[in-house]
A and B are shown apart, each in its own frame.
Chain A
Amino acid sequence: MNKKLIGRRDFMKSSLAGFGGLFFLPPLDMKQEVRVVETKGKEKKLVYRTLGKTGLKLPVINMGVMLTDNPNLIRAALDSGILLLDTAHGYMGGRNEEVIGSVIKGRPRDSYYIASKVSLPQDRTKGLFTEGATTEEFLRRLDLSLKRLGIDHVDILHLHGVSRKESVVFEPALKAFEKAKKDGKIRFVGISTHSNEPEVIHAATDSKAYDVILTSYNFKQKHYAEVRNAIARASQAGIGIIGMKAIRGAFQQPPTIKNIKASLKWILQDPNVHTIIPGFTTFEHLETDLSVMEDLILTEPEKLELQKEASILGLYCQGCRQCLGQCPEKLPIPDLMRAYMYTYGYRNLALAQDLIVSLNLPSRVCEDCSSCPVKCSIGFNVSKKIRDVARLKNVPSDFLV
């Protein structure tokens, strides 16, 4: 009866203490340059930083093109002072690169920069490359990308979607980069990461094989401090840092981030981030993003708003996977938390039961331990939720079909 549960108030208190570092960053580096440019009769302030050892001088806001096939929106971005267009071999089945190709056709090659990404077959659960991940396949994909873009080289080519240190130094990819660089098809070698970012960034820094790192980085990440430290080390080693997912889902309905400008400013507070590539789909969003450069300093109300948002307790597992390996019974906690979300979030008991059955759980789940050693990063009582949802395995499936 002496169970000690973390109440919402306690959670808020502890979280806010944890978020204390949200704004404790070094002061903005003076190595940024401010220029006032005139576009379509309007003056606009643009802030430039240098992308590490590549020497490319880029505005701090560029464009992730993955969301749009609207050539006039991409044109408007370039005409507004944006210099870097970020795409990938796989976006829109290749159409994304084709649309960019139609926009840059006829523009001087030194008036824009193109970053693309090539992925190789990968076991996504392990994050390791698999059969078919060869130098030849990588180069074949690069050639197809160049054809779609209508250019003879890209400025940055990223190895796409890496989540393990072993994959950072995957020999066939490194060989492909070497050959592509020698043949003049790429200028700089990059790597992109969406999960397990700190490990990937450190490995990329240690490998000395990469000029640029493209990483997820936002104030809602549970591990933003680790990402920040890894970025700082990479930047010190001369690697150019491009941030992404700064406003993760902000343009979705309902939005997952409320204050877009403050979210963009947050990531740009970090002087080790040289540029970011938000994706936008409207001319209005483009203007909103560019307007951030008018003043990069977060105001006190903006700070408060970000702090409040970062501390909101989610109802469901955030997928940080920090619980892995903590359970003495080796229960697959993230999967069980997903079943919990199917049950109470999706209200889909059949789906939850399917998942639970597929996990081959022992007959007694979370009933034999006197205390649970699992420490959830957002304070969930994990064993309680597991006991709750595991009951579904005993419900006759006829009830749930």
Chain B
Amino acid sequence: MKTICLGVGMFIFLMGAALEAKDFAFPEMAGWKQSGEIQTFIPKILYEYINGAADLYFAYDFQELKVAEYQNEKKVSVTVDVYRHRTPLYAFGIYSQERLPEANFLDIGIQGYYEKGFLNFLTGPYYVKISTVNTGAEDREVLVAFAKKMAENLGTKGSFPSILSAFPAEGKQKHSEKFIAINFLGYSFLHSSFTADYELQGKKFKLFVIEGKNKNECRDMIEKYLQTIKGPRKDTTEGRYTLSDPHHGEVGLHWKGRYIWGILNLNEASLRLKYLKLFEDRITKK
């Protein structure tokens, strides 16, 4: 009797989990046939497909990769890789790490871009990479057609993380926004961060914002940062900090509530102040 109850309980539990599960189908493409079976790679065997690059995907909570191969009658092949990450934020993170700012950007999913031989795009929790060889002049046309159909099959596309809108527009380099999932600046206590590259008056610098769980977590991060760089001891209160980091030079920071934002690689104090203020205005409006 006990066994039966346990069995039924397990079945109900698994059924509940299954109800939440989502799956997708690879599209039918006119003139193309799927060749071979769809391959699936879970974290343990991702190395077999993308070698050492897998390590970075694990930092972005990679869940599963499905790969489909297509071939047309001229024996030209197209490969579609669909990487599923735990959340849309992590999918954005890995996409942003591999995004080429100079590429040809396309309106597919949340965003996509094309370069000769491949097209990558982001939609929901999926990062999709489509590649081909020998499609010749039709390269772009073929890849875009596959991408559009694939995007349709992957459901709601969602949008970029809303916090990206807090980055000041002046001087921001297009398509340079990133999400660093672990150990920002090389410090484990700073966990994750959003960054963007800037160029103004010939100066190149980087802005970042860390989104904490709450005010206390941000206080903890500031305190640990001060300890690590052996900064002057003082009461850690909300407000502005200029830190002398042995690895990163002068770092301008501002902490308010559950946000810490800052500037790297900018020595000019007045410009640093201007950007910290601009950031503050935009974060406050969030």
Min CB gap B100→A, angstroms: 6
Give the contact stretch, choosing among B43-51, B163-171, B255-263, B277-285.
B43-51
29 pairs, A vs B, C-beta closer than 8 Å: A64-B52, A64-B55, A67-B55, A67-B56, A69-B97, A70-B185, A72-B185, A72-B186, A76-B186, A88-B52, A91-B56, A94-B100, A117-B51, A117-B52, A124-B49, A125-B36, A192-B51, A194-B47, A249-B58, A279-B55, A281-B182, A283-B186, A319-B45, A348-B18, A350-B21, A350-B23, A351-B21, A354-B23, A358-B37
Residue ID in chain B nearest A279 by CB atoms = B55
| In the complex, chain A residues whose CB is within 8 Å of the CB of B97 | 69, 92-93, 95
| In the complex, chain B residues whose CB is within 8 Å of the CB of A341 | 42
- Residue A157, interface by CB 8 Å: no
- Residue A355, interface by CB 8 Å: yes
Min CB gap A180→B, angstroms: 20
Residue ID in chain A nearest B52 by CB atoms = A66
Contact B52 A282 (CB under 8 A): no
- Residue A109, interface by CB 8 Å: no
Residue ID in chain B nearest A347 by CB atoms = B17
Min CB gap A40→B, angstroms: 8
Contact A92 B98 (CB under 8 A): yes
- Residue B213, interface by CB 8 Å: no
Min CB gap A1→B, angstroms: 18
Q: Which of A154-174 contact B (CB under 8 A)?
A: 160-161, 163
Min CB gap B184→A, angstroms: 9
Contact of B48 among A66, A163, A338, A358 (CB under 8 A): A163
Contact of A195 among B23, B47, B187 (CB under 8 A): B47
The 3 closest A-B pairs by CB, nearest first: A132-B133, A93-B98, A347-B17
- Residue A400, interface by CB 8 Å: yes
- Chain A 85-107, CB-CB to B under 8 Å as 1, else 0, gives 00010111111000000000000
| In the complex, chain A residues whose CB is within 8 Å of the CB of B269 | none
Contact A91 B52 (CB under 8 A): yes
Contact B40 A355 (CB under 8 A): yes
A351→B66 CA distance, assembly (Å)? 12
| In the complex, chain A residues whose CB is within 8 Å of the CB of B286 | none
Min CB gap A322→B, angstroms: 15
Q: Which of A188-209 contact B (CB under 8 A)?
A: 192, 194-195
Contact B187 A124 (CB under 8 A): no
Contact A281 B186 (CB under 8 A): yes
Q: Can you add 10 more A-B contacts, CB < 8 Å, to A92-B56, A121-B133, A284-B188?
A: A76-B186, A90-B51, A93-B98, A124-B67, A130-B77, A195-B48, A249-B58, A252-B58, A319-B44, A347-B13
Contact of A160 among B15, B23, B51, B75 (CB under 8 A): B51
- Chain A 233-264, CB-CB to B under 8 Å as 1, else 0, gives 00000000000110001001000000000000
- Residue A343, interface by CB 8 Å: yes
A283→B59 CA distance, assembly (Å)? 17
A318→B18 CA distance, assembly (Å)? 24
Q: Which of B32-75 contact A (CB under 8 A)?
A: 36-40, 42, 44-45, 47-53, 55-56, 58-59, 67, 75
A31→B152 CA distance, assembly (Å)? 61
Interface, chain B (partner A; CB < 8 A) = 13-15, 17-19, 21, 23, 36-40, 42, 44-45, 47-53, 55-56, 58-59, 67, 75, 77, 97-100, 120, 133-134, 182-183, 185-188, 247-248
Residue ID in chain A nearest B18 by CB atoms = A349
| In the complex, chain B residues whose CB is within 8 Å of the CB of A125 | 36, 39
| In the complex, chain B residues whose CB is within 8 Å of the CB of A195 | 47-48
| In the complex, chain A residues whose CB is within 8 Å of the CB of B75 | 131
- Residue A119, interface by CB 8 Å: yes
Min CB gap A57→B, angstroms: 24
Contact A66 B53 (CB under 8 A): yes
Contact A95 B98 (CB under 8 A): yes
Contact of A349 among B14, B40, B183 (CB under 8 A): B14
| Residue of B40, B53, B59, B120 with most partner-chain A CB within 10 A | B53
| In the complex, chain B residues whose CB is within 8 Å of the CB of A72 | 185-186, 247-248
Min CB gap A390→B, angstroms: 16
A338→B44 CA distance, assembly (Å)? 11
A31→B265 CA distance, assembly (Å)? 44
- Residue A399, interface by CB 8 Å: yes
Min CB gap A130→B, angstroms: 8
Contact of A400 among B18, B48, B98, B134 (CB under 8 A): B18
Q: Which of A14-73 contact B (CB under 8 A)?
A: 64, 66-70, 72-73
| Residue of B18, B23, B100 with most partner-chain A CB within 10 A | B18
A247→B137 CA distance, assembly (Å)? 45
| In the complex, chain A residues whose CB is within 8 Å of the CB of B248 | 72
Contact A194 B51 (CB under 8 A): yes
| In the complex, chain A residues whose CB is within 8 Å of the CB of B186 | 68, 70, 72-73, 76, 281-283
| In the complex, chain A residues whose CB is within 8 Å of the CB of B44 | 318-319
- Chain A 124-160, CB-CB to B under 8 Å as 1, else 0, gives 1100001110000000000000000000000000001
Residue ID in chain B nearest A122 by CB atoms = B49
A281→B59 CA distance, assembly (Å)? 10
Residue ID in chain A nearest B246 by CB atoms = A40
| In the complex, chain A residues whose CB is within 8 Å of the CB of B18 | 347-350, 399-401
| In the complex, chain B residues whose CB is within 8 Å of the CB of A132 | 133-134
Contact A93 B40 (CB under 8 A): no
Contact B247 A93 (CB under 8 A): no
| Residue of B75, B77, B100, B186 with most partner-chain A CB within 10 A | B186
Contact of B247 among A64, A283, A347, A354 (CB under 8 A): A283
Q: Which of A250-299 contact B (CB under 8 A)?
A: 252, 279, 281-284
| In the complex, chain B residues whose CB is within 8 Å of the CB of A130 | 77
A401→B77 CA distance, assembly (Å)? 31
Contact of A124 among B17, B39, B59, B98 (CB under 8 A): B39
Contact A131 B77 (CB under 8 A): yes
| In the complex, chain B residues whose CB is within 8 Å of the CB of A73 | 186, 247
| In the complex, chain A residues whose CB is within 8 Å of the CB of B134 | 131-132
Residue ID in chain B nearest A137 by CB atoms = B133
